[in-house]
Amino acid sequence: MPTDTLAPWWTEFRNQMPVARNWAYLDHAAVAPLSEPARAAMCQWAEDITTEGDVCWRRWSRRVQEVRILGAKLVGAAEAELALVRNTTEGITLVAECFPWQAGDNVVTFAGEFPSNLYPWMNLARRGVEIRRVPTELGRVNLDDVAAACDRRTRIVAVSWVGYATGWRNDLDRLAEIAHASGALLFVDAIQGLGVFPLDVRTTRLDFFAADGHKWLLGPEGAGLLFIRTEHLERLAPLGVGWNSVVHAGQYDNSELILRTDAARYEGGSYNVAGLVALGASLKLLASFGAEPISQRVLTITDLACERLREIGAVVVSHRDLAHASSIVAFELPGKDAHELLRRCHDQKVTVRVRAGRLRISPHAYNNEEDIERLVAALR
């Protein structure tokens, strides 16, 4: 992290986010703007592939593999435990379809989950798998209800780290204990937490997670990460097997089907090189500041937002206790139409979102007090 005492470190972060020159951008829970390093990486790739064609393929292939290394460092995983995927849905679907289900098995999840962490599990009904949805209140989950929903036929507990609608941040350590106590595994949709909150899979014993890079990781759409704990690699059947799934990838005249022994076996074919190298550039940027400082800054700026919103009469519905607060804040202005307020904010170059009839803001660590004041002024 920078040690410049003349300016807070998030000022340097802000300097790497060109969007801040034009917008008070408070919508990272939807689609984040690219960082300057990500933009530069994509442009460099485009220039190379345009002027050199596949002559530069090896150079960019190495850059793609660096993303796996950076992702592993971010979460304390082994490189062999990370697959590079196109999006969160692809990662969830891979686990859902490859798991060795038997009729009568069940999946425990939450009511109100984002569709990506619901439909792939619901789609298993054709294989006789039951989906159990634990009730929530404004995104809040009672963990006793989760434990009660699990039984000896529960195979996976599938949850979001952070709820997309109101920002409730789940206790992954406790959820892992609950799942494992019933003999089940824990799958985490990590897209709304990865990049702003620390995660170490060596101590937080989740079994799988998936996260696209286009939110808090500040990458483009179409490039993400899938974590599969080593002991589960052989449990998941191969899916989407292609030239890149085998130990002799690139030896096209060798037709033996000898799968890789790591998570890369699920990558199949060619990569989204431009997207992945851009994601890698943003991962480097985030690593330079550190996960703990980023999470502390995000909680500080969202606390400020809640304070200022309440001062103008807003009702904040997100839970803000330290254990469950996140970078997402949902609120209402009584008597005001959320969609009209959204249009007003956009007219003032303040990006917000409407979810479940409420306004939702989702600042990153580079957002500052001025951004919050622009939000308040637009809402007034």
**Per-residue confidence of the chain (380 residues) as pLDDT tens digits?**
544 456 799 999 999 999 999 999 999 999 999 999 999 999 999 999 999 999 998 999 999 999 999 999 999 999 999 999 999 999 999 999 999 999 999 999 999 999 999 999 999 999 999 999 999 999 899 999 999 999 999 999 999 999 999 999 999 999 999 999 999 999 999 999 999 999 999 999 999 999 999 999 999 999 999 999 999 999 999 889 999 999 999 899 999 999 999 999 999 999 999 999 999 999 999 999 999 999 999 999 999 999 999 999 999 999 999 999 999 999 999 999 999 999 999 999 999 999 999 999 999 999 999 999 999 999 99
| Residues 70, 168 share a domain | yes
Q: What is the pLDDT of residue 107?
A: 98
Whether 216 and 196 have beta carbons less than 8 Å apart is answered as yes
Residue type for 102, please? Q
Flag whether 122 is in a domain. Answer: yes
User: Residue 203 burial (CB < 10 Å; 0-12/13-18/19+)?
Assistant: exposed
pLDDT in tens, 31-62: 999 999 999 999 999 999 999 999 998 999 99
For residues 232 and 99, what is the distance between their CA atoms, to the nearest angstrom?
Answer: 10
Buried b (16+ CB within 10 A) or exposed e, 258-297: eebebbbbbbbeebbbbbbbbbbbbbbbbeebebebbbeb
Question: Which residues 6+ apart lie within 8 Å of 141 measured at CB?
Answer: 110, 134, 159, 168, 170
Helix (H) or strand (E) holding 296: helix 291-311
Question: Which residues 6+ apart lie within 8 Å of 87 measured at CB?
Answer: 116, 212, 221, 222, 224
| Residues 343, 239 share a domain | no
Whether 85 and 91 have beta carbons less than 8 Å apart is answered as yes
| Residues 120, 154 share a domain | yes
| Residues 331, 194 share a domain | no
Flag whether 61 is in a domain. Answer: yes
How do 136-137 and 140-141 pair as beta strands? Answer: antiparallel
For residues 244 and 354, what is the distance between their CA atoms, to the nearest angstrom?
Answer: 41
| Residues 308, 273 share a domain | no
pLDDT in tens, 356-376: 999 999 999 999 999 999 999
DSSP 3-state of 163: coil
Flag whether 68 is in a domain. Answer: yes
Flag whether 232 is in a domain. Answer: yes
Buried b (16+ CB within 10 A) or exposed e, 43-57: ebbeebbeeeeeeee
For residues 100 and 123, what is the distance between their CA atoms, to the nearest angstrom?
Answer: 15
Residue 339 C-beta-side C-alpha neighbours within 13 Å: 2
Whether 301 and 320 have beta carbons less than 8 Å apart is answered as no
Flag whether 39 is in a domain. Answer: no
| Residues 238, 168 share a domain | yes
pTM of the model: 0.95
CATH number of domain containing 351: 3.90.1150.10
Flag whether 84 is in a domain. Answer: yes
Among all chains, which residue has been given the structure tokens 């801040």? 20
For residues 200 and 172, what is the distance between their CA atoms, to the nearest angstrom?
Answer: 11
| Residues 54, 20 share a domain | no
Flag whether 40 is in a domain. Answer: no
| Residues 257, 140 share a domain | yes
| Residues 250, 305 share a domain | no
In the chain, the number of structural domains is 2
End of a domain among 287, 320, 355? Answer: 287
Q: What is the pLDDT of residue 5?
A: 52
Residue 133: both structure tokens together? 């949805």
Helix (H) or strand (E) holding 69: helix 57-75
Flag whether 325 is in a domain. Answer: yes
For residues 203 and 209, what is the distance between their CA atoms, to the nearest angstrom?
Answer: 14
Domain of residue 360: give its range. Answer: 9-26+290-379
Residue type for 69, please? I
| Residues 340, 263 share a domain | no
| Residues 294, 272 share a domain | no
| Residues 254, 345 share a domain | no
For residues 324 and 162, what is the distance between their CA atoms, to the nearest angstrom?
Answer: 9
CATH number of domain containing 154: 3.40.640.10
DSSP 3-state of 53: helix
For residues 176 and 169, what is the distance between their CA atoms, to the nearest angstrom?
Answer: 14
End of a domain among 265, 287, 309? Answer: 287
Whether 285 and 365 have beta carbons less than 8 Å apart is answered as no
Residue 342: both structure tokens together? 């959204």
Q: How far is CA 315 from CA 48, 175, 334, 336, 375, in A?
A: 51, 29, 8, 12, 15
End of a domain among 263, 287, 311? Answer: 287
Question: Which residues 6+ apart lie within 8 Å of 146 measured at CB?
Answer: 108, 134, 157, 175, 178
Residues counted in the chain: 380
How remote is the C-alpha of 329 from its chain's centroid?
A: 17
